[in-house]
Amino acid sequence: MLDNRRSAIGQPAQRRKSGGLGEVVRTVVFALLIAVGIRTIAFEPFNIPSGSMIPTLLIGDYLFVSKYSYGYSRYSMPFGLPLWSGRILSHEPKRGDVIVFKLPRDGKTDYIKRLIGLPGDRIQMKAGRLFINDEMVPREKIADFNYSEGGYGGRVAQYTETLPGGMKHTIIELTDNGPYDTTGVYTVPPGEYFMMGDNRDNSLDSRVPPEQSGVGFVPFENLVGRAEFLFFSIDESASWWAPWTWPGAIRYGRLFHGVG
């Protein structure tokens, strides 16, 4: 009798143990599916590896991009799976948006720039000044920016630029006589956009054609999403293999700031 009771008691215990493991597995699977779903249709994290968007975005910034802002294309999906062409639930981007997009010449590399030119616009640079549809974009000098990148260090000119429609943003100019500070006229084709970095003299953007390893015009389909806000930022003084350097390298004042 004693042995029979032990067997009867032991069987439910085993079932409970097996059921508990199954619950854990189901919970993990559901959590992963939710995370993939959020990343696919809502927000995706990106980090900033270069200085082309200084002073708006700094090297070491981490931000969330809203995937739903412009609708969904193949580039909204993980690995750019070609499940459909064009965009669904599409919304037109606005001039001045900071946008992550897939580089048109390879369809794989993520770039982040500011949308300057809409379809049909004429864009030109003249001695460092931006012209949109033959009108010079106003800019106002503000305090110099303490700039350090690629061996260069020092204070550089910083401006508030006001785009047509009233969108204001900040740019820096190392010089008004750089290689792409004076250009021809770029007429933006239908369904495409003209992108520029806020670091005007150190940005590989739509001013540089694809055949010169540049960006060129960006098709609507290539837009991944709009940069929304920073969730983390750390400067170059941190070493990932030296955790004790992290607290002093975090840019606390940039955390949870919107991107504009």
CATH number at residue 243: 2.10.109.10
**Separation between Cα atoms, residue 219 and residue 210, nearest integer Å:** 13
Is the confidence at residue 90, as pLDDT, over 70? yes
User: In sequence order, what are the beta bridge partners of 39?
Assistant: none
Q: Same structural domain for residues 195 and 78?
A: yes
Q: Same structural domain for residues 34 and 54?
A: no
Is the confidence at residue 5, as pLDDT, over 50? no
52: annotated active-site residue: yes
3-state secondary structure of 36: helix
pLDDT for the residue numbered 6: 42
Is the confidence at residue 247, as pLDDT, over 50? yes
Q: Same structural domain for residues 137 and 208?
A: yes
Q: Same structural domain for residues 117 and 230?
A: yes
**Residue 57: DSSP 8-state:** S
Query: Taking residues 106-135, what's their average pLDDT?
Result: 97
Question: Which is it for strands 135-136 and 139-149: parallel, antiparallel or unpaired?
Answer: unpaired
Q: Same structural domain for residues 76 and 152?
A: yes
Range of the domain at 226: 42-254
Q: Same structural domain for residues 32 and 140?
A: no
**Separation between Cα atoms, residue 159 and residue 99, nearest integer Å:** 21
Q: Which residue in the list 67, 76, 113, 203 is annotated as catalytic?
A: 113
Cα separation of the two ends of the chain: 77
90: annotated active-site residue: no
Q: Same structural domain for residues 35 and 46?
A: no
The length of the chain is 260
Tally of domains in the chain: 2
Q: Same structural domain for residues 79 and 163?
A: yes
| 233 vs 247, higher pLDDT | 233
Q: Same structural domain for residues 111 and 52?
A: yes
3-state secondary structure of 62: strand
Average pLDDT taken over every residue of the chain: 87
